[in-house]
């Protein structure tokens, strides 16, 4: 009786394994391309803003209160406004943030290219003036 029960149980498990192993979903090439294009148009998560939020929460949990180095900023731009840096450095960080933010949205590639070109042109001119 034990042998028969074990054999039937083994056959049942094998049958289930074979049935679940055959669930391969076949999609045609056009559907795959359309799906990838749809995913490419989605804006990605801005990690600088998320880091600012996480660090702000971390300092709050640590009990920094009024001495919070982030000053209660909820995104990176607010942090740039609140920190004590020279205006030139703040402007550079702001431009870098804008370039990074534009790079996350695939629909704004032209704006990204223009902004990056301007930034590179200014850097080249500054380099020539320094020499």
| Residue 56: how many other CB atoms lie within 10 Å | 21
Q: Is residue 60 part of a domain?
A: yes
- pLDDT at residue 46 greater than cutoff 60: yes
Q: Is residue 131 part of a domain?
A: no
CB-based contact 102:108 (threshold 8 Å): yes
Residue range(s) defining the domain that contains residue 114: 85-122
Q: Is residue 6 part of a domain?
A: no
User: For residue 89, what pLDDT is reported?
Assistant: 92
Q: Is residue 72 part of a domain?
A: yes
User: For residue 13, what pLDDT is reported?
Assistant: 67
For residues 53 and 36, give the distance between their C-alpha atoms in angstroms, rounded to a whole number: 30
84-108 pLDDT, tens digit per residue, is: 889 999 998 998 898 888 888 777 7
Q: Quick one: pLDDT band at residue 111, thresholds 50, 70, 90?
A: confident
| Residue 11: how many other CB atoms lie within 10 Å | 10
Q: Percent of the chain at pLDDT above 70?
A: 71
Number of separate domains in the chain: 2
For residues 79 and 131, the model is more confident at 79
Q: Is residue 100 part of a domain?
A: yes
User: For residue 115, what pLDDT is reported?
Assistant: 82
Same domain, 75 and 90: no
For residues 118 and 124, give the distance between their C-alpha atoms in angstroms, rounded to a whole number: 10
Please report, for residues 99, 103, 118, the alpha-carbon distance to residue 121 in angstroms, rounded to integers and kept in the order given: 15, 19, 5
Same domain, 77 and 96: no
Q: Is residue 27 part of a domain?
A: no
- pLDDT at residue 55 greater than cutoff 70: yes
Same domain, 93 and 76: no
Find how far residue 48's CA is from the centre of its chain.
9
For residues 124 and 66, the model is more confident at 124
5-25 pLDDT, tens digit per residue, is: 776 766 666 766 666 655 555
Q: Is residue 8 part of a domain?
A: no
Residue that the structure tokens 């391309």 belong to: 33
Same domain, 77 and 90: no
């Amino acid at each position: 009786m034990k042998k028969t029960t074990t054999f039937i149980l083994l056959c049942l498990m094998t049958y289930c394994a074979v049935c679940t192993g055959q669930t391969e979903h076949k999609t045609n090439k056009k559907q795959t391309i359309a799906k990838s294009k749809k995913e490419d148009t989605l804006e990605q998560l801005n990690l600088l803003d998320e880091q600012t939020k996480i660090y702000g929460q971390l300092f709050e949990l640590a009990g920094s209160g009024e001495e919070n180095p982030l000053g209660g900023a909820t995104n990176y731009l607010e942090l740039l406004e609140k920190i004590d840096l020279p205006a030139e450095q703040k402007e550079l960080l702001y431009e870098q943030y804008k370039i990074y933010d534009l790079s996350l949205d695939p629909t704004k590639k032209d704006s990204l290219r223009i902004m990056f070109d301007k930034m590179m042109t200014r850097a080249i001119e500054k380099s020539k003036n320094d020499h």
